[in-house]
Amino acid sequence: MTASSESVAGLDPAALESFLANALSEDLGAGGDVTTAFTIEEGLRLRAEIASRQDIVVAGLELAAAFFSRLDPQVEIDRLVADGERVAAGAVLMRLEGEARAMLSAERSALNTLQHLSGVATLTRAYADAVADTGCVLLDTRKTIPGLRVIEKYAARMGGATNHRMRLDDGVLIKDNHIAMCGGVEKAVRSAKASGLEVQVEVDLIEQIEPALGAGADRLLCDNMSPAMLREAVSLVAGRVPIEASGGVRLDTIRVIAETGVDFVSVGRITQSAPAADIGLDYSPAS
Protein backbone atom coordinates (compact mmCIF):
# COMPACT_ATOMS: atom_id res chain seq x y z
CA MET A 1 0.00 0.00 0.00
CA THR A 2 1.31 3.44 -0.90
CA ALA A 3 0.56 6.12 1.69
CA SER A 4 -0.58 9.54 0.52
CA SER A 5 1.42 12.66 1.34
CA GLU A 6 -1.32 13.63 3.82
CA SER A 7 -1.27 10.36 5.73
CA VAL A 8 0.24 9.79 9.16
CA ALA A 9 1.67 6.29 9.67
CA GLY A 10 -0.43 5.18 6.71
CA LEU A 11 -3.66 6.65 8.13
CA ASP A 12 -5.61 9.17 6.06
CA PRO A 13 -7.07 12.15 7.98
CA ALA A 14 -10.37 10.43 8.78
CA ALA A 15 -8.69 7.21 9.87
CA LEU A 16 -6.19 9.19 11.93
CA GLU A 17 -8.95 11.03 13.77
CA SER A 18 -10.75 7.76 14.47
CA PHE A 19 -7.57 6.10 15.72
CA LEU A 20 -6.70 8.97 18.06
CA ALA A 21 -10.24 9.23 19.40
CA ASN A 22 -10.53 5.51 20.07
CA ALA A 23 -7.13 5.23 21.71
CA LEU A 24 -7.66 8.23 23.97
CA SER A 25 -11.18 7.11 24.87
CA GLU A 26 -9.81 3.71 25.85
CA ASP A 27 -7.21 5.32 28.12
CA LEU A 28 -9.13 8.29 29.53
CA GLY A 29 -12.53 6.67 29.95
CA ALA A 30 -15.53 8.82 30.83
CA GLY A 31 -13.89 10.58 33.76
CA GLY A 32 -10.59 11.57 32.18
CA ASP A 33 -7.17 11.52 33.82
CA VAL A 34 -8.31 11.95 37.42
CA THR A 35 -4.80 11.69 38.89
CA THR A 36 -3.55 14.56 36.78
CA ALA A 37 -6.72 16.59 37.37
CA PHE A 38 -6.30 16.42 41.14
CA THR A 39 -2.53 16.82 41.36
CA ILE A 40 -1.42 19.12 38.53
CA GLU A 41 -2.20 22.82 38.66
CA GLU A 42 -4.27 24.09 35.75
CA GLY A 43 -2.23 26.19 33.35
CA LEU A 44 1.12 24.66 34.31
CA ARG A 45 3.42 24.05 31.32
CA LEU A 46 5.96 21.28 30.85
CA ARG A 47 8.83 20.45 28.57
CA ALA A 48 9.26 16.86 27.48
CA GLU A 49 12.00 14.90 25.77
CA ILE A 50 11.37 11.56 24.12
CA ALA A 51 14.52 9.48 23.69
CA SER A 52 15.42 5.94 22.70
CA ARG A 53 17.08 3.74 25.30
CA GLN A 54 18.31 1.23 22.72
CA ASP A 55 19.41 1.14 19.08
CA ILE A 56 16.19 1.23 17.03
CA VAL A 57 14.57 2.02 13.72
CA VAL A 58 12.04 4.78 14.37
CA ALA A 59 8.42 4.38 13.32
CA GLY A 60 5.30 6.20 14.48
CA LEU A 61 6.86 9.49 15.56
CA GLU A 62 4.28 11.63 13.75
CA LEU A 63 1.50 9.48 15.16
CA ALA A 64 2.86 9.91 18.67
CA ALA A 65 3.03 13.67 18.16
CA ALA A 66 -0.59 13.66 17.00
CA PHE A 67 -1.75 12.45 20.42
CA PHE A 68 -0.20 15.46 22.12
CA SER A 69 -1.56 17.86 19.50
CA ARG A 70 -5.06 16.47 19.87
CA LEU A 71 -5.20 17.26 23.60
CA ASP A 72 -3.24 20.52 23.29
CA PRO A 73 -3.52 22.07 19.82
CA GLN A 74 -0.94 24.69 20.86
CA VAL A 75 1.74 22.22 21.92
CA GLU A 76 5.17 23.00 20.46
CA ILE A 77 6.80 19.96 18.86
CA ASP A 78 10.35 19.64 17.57
CA ARG A 79 10.90 16.37 15.71
CA LEU A 80 14.60 15.56 15.59
CA VAL A 81 14.48 12.39 13.49
CA ALA A 82 12.16 10.89 10.89
CA ASP A 83 10.43 7.54 10.60
CA GLY A 84 12.65 4.94 9.01
CA GLU A 85 15.86 6.33 10.51
CA ARG A 86 18.19 4.16 12.55
CA VAL A 87 19.17 5.80 15.81
CA ALA A 88 21.50 4.78 18.61
CA ALA A 89 20.64 4.37 22.26
CA GLY A 90 20.35 7.77 23.88
CA ALA A 91 19.19 9.56 20.75
CA VAL A 92 16.56 12.24 21.35
CA LEU A 93 13.64 11.69 18.98
CA MET A 94 11.36 14.59 19.83
CA ARG A 95 11.07 17.56 22.18
CA LEU A 96 7.77 19.10 23.23
CA GLU A 97 6.50 21.99 25.28
CA GLY A 98 2.88 22.42 26.22
CA GLU A 99 0.08 22.34 28.76
CA ALA A 100 1.04 19.93 31.53
CA ARG A 101 -2.34 18.29 32.02
CA ALA A 102 -2.71 17.54 28.33
CA MET A 103 0.80 16.19 27.96
CA LEU A 104 0.49 13.86 30.94
CA SER A 105 -2.87 12.58 29.70
CA ALA A 106 -1.57 11.89 26.18
CA GLU A 107 1.71 10.36 27.28
CA ARG A 108 0.76 6.68 27.58
CA SER A 109 -1.11 6.46 24.29
CA ALA A 110 1.68 8.26 22.46
CA LEU A 111 4.46 6.17 23.96
CA ASN A 112 2.66 2.85 23.56
CA THR A 113 2.16 3.55 19.88
CA LEU A 114 5.70 4.76 19.28
CA GLN A 115 7.25 1.86 21.18
CA HIS A 116 5.17 -0.74 19.37
CA LEU A 117 5.69 0.60 15.86
CA SER A 118 9.41 1.22 16.41
CA GLY A 119 9.66 -2.34 17.71
CA VAL A 120 8.10 -3.63 14.49
CA ALA A 121 10.38 -1.47 12.36
CA THR A 122 13.47 -2.50 14.30
CA LEU A 123 12.79 -6.23 14.02
CA THR A 124 11.87 -5.84 10.36
CA ARG A 125 15.16 -4.06 9.66
CA ALA A 126 17.08 -6.99 11.16
CA TYR A 127 15.32 -9.37 8.75
CA ALA A 128 15.78 -6.99 5.80
CA ASP A 129 19.49 -6.66 6.55
CA ALA A 130 19.80 -10.44 6.69
CA VAL A 131 18.66 -10.80 3.06
CA ALA A 132 20.43 -7.72 1.73
CA ASP A 133 22.22 -8.33 -1.60
CA THR A 134 20.47 -11.67 -2.21
CA GLY A 135 17.92 -10.19 -4.61
CA CYS A 136 15.12 -11.61 -2.44
CA VAL A 137 12.37 -9.23 -1.26
CA LEU A 138 11.16 -9.32 2.34
CA LEU A 139 7.35 -9.31 2.68
CA ASP A 140 5.09 -8.82 5.67
CA THR A 141 1.84 -10.75 6.17
CA ARG A 142 -1.71 -10.30 7.50
CA LYS A 143 -0.56 -11.53 10.93
CA THR A 144 -1.29 -8.22 12.61
CA ILE A 145 -3.25 -7.14 15.68
CA PRO A 146 -6.87 -6.53 14.59
CA GLY A 147 -7.45 -2.81 14.13
CA LEU A 148 -3.73 -2.02 13.86
CA ARG A 149 -2.94 -3.51 10.46
CA VAL A 150 -2.43 -0.23 8.60
CA ILE A 151 0.02 1.20 11.11
CA GLU A 152 1.83 -2.11 11.69
CA LYS A 153 2.33 -2.57 7.96
CA TYR A 154 3.50 1.05 7.81
CA ALA A 155 6.10 0.22 10.47
CA ALA A 156 7.17 -2.83 8.47
CA ARG A 157 7.75 -0.56 5.46
CA MET A 158 9.83 1.76 7.63
CA GLY A 159 11.95 -1.25 8.56
CA GLY A 160 12.57 -2.24 4.96
CA ALA A 161 9.81 -4.74 4.14
CA THR A 162 7.41 -4.62 1.22
CA ASN A 163 3.74 -4.91 2.07
CA HIS A 164 1.91 -8.03 0.91
CA ARG A 165 -1.90 -8.05 0.90
CA MET A 166 -3.44 -5.41 3.12
CA ARG A 167 -6.88 -7.04 2.94
CA LEU A 168 -8.50 -10.15 1.56
CA ASP A 169 -9.77 -8.18 -1.44
CA ASP A 170 -6.25 -7.19 -2.55
CA GLY A 171 -5.52 -10.45 -4.30
CA VAL A 172 -6.23 -14.17 -4.48
CA LEU A 173 -4.19 -16.52 -2.32
CA ILE A 174 -5.43 -20.10 -2.60
CA LYS A 175 -4.42 -22.14 0.43
CA ASP A 176 -4.80 -25.77 1.38
CA ASN A 177 -8.28 -25.32 2.86
CA HIS A 178 -9.53 -23.66 -0.33
CA ILE A 179 -8.09 -26.50 -2.40
CA ALA A 180 -9.61 -29.20 -0.20
CA MET A 181 -13.07 -27.63 -0.21
CA CYS A 182 -13.01 -26.75 -3.90
CA GLY A 183 -12.02 -30.21 -5.10
CA GLY A 184 -8.42 -29.79 -6.17
CA VAL A 185 -5.83 -27.18 -7.08
CA GLU A 186 -6.72 -27.07 -10.78
CA LYS A 187 -10.38 -26.37 -10.11
CA ALA A 188 -9.55 -23.80 -7.44
CA VAL A 189 -7.18 -21.89 -9.70
CA ARG A 190 -9.48 -21.92 -12.71
CA SER A 191 -12.36 -20.67 -10.59
CA ALA A 192 -10.25 -17.91 -9.05
CA LYS A 193 -8.98 -16.68 -12.45
CA ALA A 194 -12.47 -15.30 -13.04
CA SER A 195 -11.71 -12.64 -10.41
CA GLY A 196 -9.36 -10.83 -12.78
CA LEU A 197 -6.84 -10.57 -9.93
CA GLU A 198 -3.40 -12.13 -9.61
CA VAL A 199 -3.83 -15.69 -8.41
CA GLN A 200 -1.26 -17.01 -5.96
CA VAL A 201 -1.31 -20.64 -4.89
CA GLU A 202 0.15 -22.13 -1.73
CA VAL A 203 2.00 -25.40 -2.25
CA ASP A 204 3.84 -27.51 0.31
CA LEU A 205 4.85 -30.35 -2.00
CA ILE A 206 6.91 -30.26 -5.19
CA GLU A 207 4.25 -32.42 -6.86
CA GLN A 208 1.69 -29.60 -6.50
CA ILE A 209 3.68 -27.10 -8.53
CA GLU A 210 3.00 -28.25 -12.10
CA PRO A 211 -0.76 -28.69 -11.57
CA ALA A 212 -0.93 -25.17 -10.13
CA LEU A 213 1.03 -23.68 -13.02
CA GLY A 214 -0.90 -25.69 -15.57
CA ALA A 215 -4.16 -24.27 -14.23
CA GLY A 216 -2.86 -20.72 -14.62
CA ALA A 217 -1.36 -19.72 -11.25
CA ASP A 218 0.40 -16.36 -11.48
CA ARG A 219 2.56 -16.85 -8.41
CA LEU A 220 3.49 -19.62 -5.97
CA LEU A 221 3.74 -19.58 -2.19
CA CYS A 222 6.01 -22.42 -1.10
CA ASP A 223 4.99 -23.08 2.49
CA ASN A 224 7.22 -24.74 5.08
CA MET A 225 9.60 -26.16 2.48
CA SER A 226 13.19 -26.97 3.41
CA PRO A 227 15.97 -25.09 1.61
CA ALA A 228 16.61 -28.21 -0.50
CA MET A 229 12.95 -28.33 -1.54
CA LEU A 230 12.96 -24.62 -2.31
CA ARG A 231 15.98 -25.02 -4.58
CA GLU A 232 14.18 -27.84 -6.37
CA ALA A 233 11.07 -25.68 -6.72
CA VAL A 234 13.08 -22.78 -8.13
CA SER A 235 14.71 -25.11 -10.66
CA LEU A 236 11.38 -26.63 -11.68
CA VAL A 237 9.58 -23.30 -12.07
CA ALA A 238 12.54 -21.88 -14.00
CA GLY A 239 11.31 -18.29 -13.81
CA ARG A 240 7.83 -18.93 -15.16
CA VAL A 241 6.21 -17.25 -12.14
CA PRO A 242 7.53 -15.55 -9.00
CA ILE A 243 8.07 -17.77 -5.95
CA GLU A 244 7.49 -16.75 -2.35
CA ALA A 245 8.79 -18.78 0.59
CA SER A 246 6.98 -18.72 3.92
CA GLY A 247 6.40 -20.65 7.10
CA GLY A 248 8.45 -20.58 10.28
CA VAL A 249 11.04 -18.18 8.89
CA ARG A 250 13.43 -17.00 11.61
CA LEU A 251 16.22 -14.47 11.70
CA ASP A 252 18.81 -17.26 11.75
CA THR A 253 17.28 -19.06 8.74
CA ILE A 254 16.05 -16.30 6.44
CA ARG A 255 19.30 -15.81 4.53
CA VAL A 256 19.64 -19.51 3.73
CA ILE A 257 16.06 -19.41 2.44
CA ALA A 258 16.69 -16.28 0.38
CA GLU A 259 19.79 -17.82 -1.18
CA THR A 260 17.75 -20.68 -2.66
CA GLY A 261 16.70 -18.32 -5.43
CA VAL A 262 13.16 -17.53 -4.35
CA ASP A 263 11.89 -14.08 -5.27
CA PHE A 264 10.17 -13.28 -1.97
CA VAL A 265 10.20 -14.45 1.62
CA SER A 266 7.33 -13.55 3.94
CA VAL A 267 7.71 -13.29 7.71
CA GLY A 268 4.71 -13.14 10.03
CA ARG A 269 6.72 -12.56 13.19
CA ILE A 270 7.89 -9.06 12.20
CA THR A 271 4.39 -7.79 12.96
CA GLN A 272 3.11 -10.62 15.16
CA SER A 273 5.98 -10.99 17.62
CA ALA A 274 8.06 -7.81 17.61
CA PRO A 275 9.02 -6.64 21.12
CA ALA A 276 8.27 -3.03 21.98
CA ALA A 277 11.20 -0.66 21.62
CA ASP A 278 12.57 0.84 24.82
CA ILE A 279 11.69 4.52 24.45
CA GLY A 280 11.30 6.89 27.38
CA LEU A 281 9.84 10.32 28.09
CA ASP A 282 11.23 12.75 30.64
CA TYR A 283 9.63 16.02 31.81
CA SER A 284 10.98 19.29 33.16
CA PRO A 285 9.13 22.51 34.08
CA ALA A 286 8.83 25.00 31.22
CA SER A 287 10.49 28.34 31.92
* Residues known to be catalytic: 108, 143, 175, 202, 223
In the chain, the DSSP E strands lie at: 45-52, 56-57, 76-79, 86-87, 92-99, 137-139, 172-174, 199-203, 219-223, 243-246, 264-266, 279-285
CA torsion 256-259-263-269 (nearest 10°) is 20
- The SS3 assignment for 94 reads strand
Alpha-helical segments (H) within 61-136:
61-71, 100-130
Say if residues 107 and 127 touch (Cβ distance below 8 Å): no
Say if residues 281 and 111 touch (Cβ distance below 8 Å): yes
In 27-106, the DSSP E strands lie at: 45-52, 56-57, 76-79, 86-87, 92-99
- Provide the greatest CA pair distance for the chain: 73
Measured between alpha carbons, how far is 54 from 115 in angstroms, rounded to an integer? 11
Nearest residue to 77 via CA among 110, 43, 115: 110
